[in-house]
Amino acid sequence: MTGYKIQKEEQELLLAVAREFIESGVTGIARIEPVVAEYPVALQQQCASFVSIKRGDELRACLGTVEAHRPLVSDVASNAHAAASRDHRFAPLEAWELATLQVQISVLSSAQPMEFTTEEELLAQLRPGTDGLVLEAGSARSTFLPVVWVALPDPQDFLRQLKLKAGLPGDYFPAELRVSRYTTESFAAPYAS
């Protein structure tokens, strides 16, 4: 979906799908997968997404995919269900919480590999507030969405915390380190809208 701006009506459809699948994650009631052909063509395109669930300013759950491998509407449905019930950092959502939550969907561009030989070269290329990063070293892998720059505005801090998230030491810079960047188009609404 490179270069395509998701229209307001399409955003509303994706938010409705996310709410439905968050609810199925909470209640355990199985939902039928979205019938992809019933959605606008833009939402049928293979695209990666993240679904973030917040209460106030606090993150309550967030899961997603970095690589496009299914239609966007299906990706949002799956990620919403998983965020509600399987984000290992948080207890599963409970039904009473639903009215207090906000749902945010981030649609990712394709990740582009970055070229660098030193950490300083990598840091100099980062675009705070714009870049989401995928960091890989051996079997370790982690990502931060661009919104994380709000909490970690310093590029060195951002990279250090991304390494820690991957289970690597913050000052570690292995020769096999790979970093890719992506951007997101994000939109949100209260769960109970």
What token pair was written down for 17?
Answer: 């799908």
**Res. 193: pLDDT tops 80:** no
Query: According to the model, what pLDDT value does residue 3 have?
Result: 67
Q: For the segment 10-22, what is each residue's pLDDT rounded down to a tens digit?
A: 999 999 999 999 9
Same domain for 121 and 69, yes or no, is no
Is this structure's pTM higher than 0.85? yes
Looking at this protein, which amino acid is placed at residue 165?
Answer: K
pLDDT one-digit tens code per residue, 20-73? 999 998 988 877 889 999 999 999 999 999 999 999 889 999 999 999 999 999
The tens digit of pLDDT for each residue in 148-184 reads 999 999 999 999 999 999 999 999 999 999 999 999 9
Cα-to-chain-centroid distance, residue 52: 7
Quote the number of domains for the chain. Answer: 2
Q: What confidence score (pLDDT) does residue 138 get?
A: 93
Return mean pLDDT, the chain. 94
Contact 126, 146 (CB under 8 A): no
**133 C-beta neighbours (distance < 10 Å), count:** 21
Confidence of residue 2 (pLDDT cuts 50, 70, 90): low
Q: Is 43 part of a structural domain of the chain? A: yes
Query: In this predicted model, which residue has the larger pLDDT, 101 or 57?
Result: 101
145: CATH: 3.30.1490.150
d(CA 15, CA 28): 19
Domain span including residue 95? 8-109+184-190
Question: Given phi > 0 = left and psi -120 to 50 = alpha, else beta, which region is 119?
Answer: alpha
Q: Do 95 and 122 have their domain in common?
A: no
Q: What digits encode the pLDDT tens for the residues 120-155? A: 999 999 999 999 999 999 999 999 999 999 999 999
Q: By C-alpha distance, which of 188, 184, 147, 192 is closest to 20?
A: 192
Report the CATH number that the domain containing residue 79 is assigned in CATH.
Answer: 3.30.700.20
For the stretch 79-107, what's the b/e string if a residue is b when 16 or more beta carbons lie within 10 angstroms of its beta carbon?
A: bbbbbbbebeeeeebeeebbeebbbbbbb
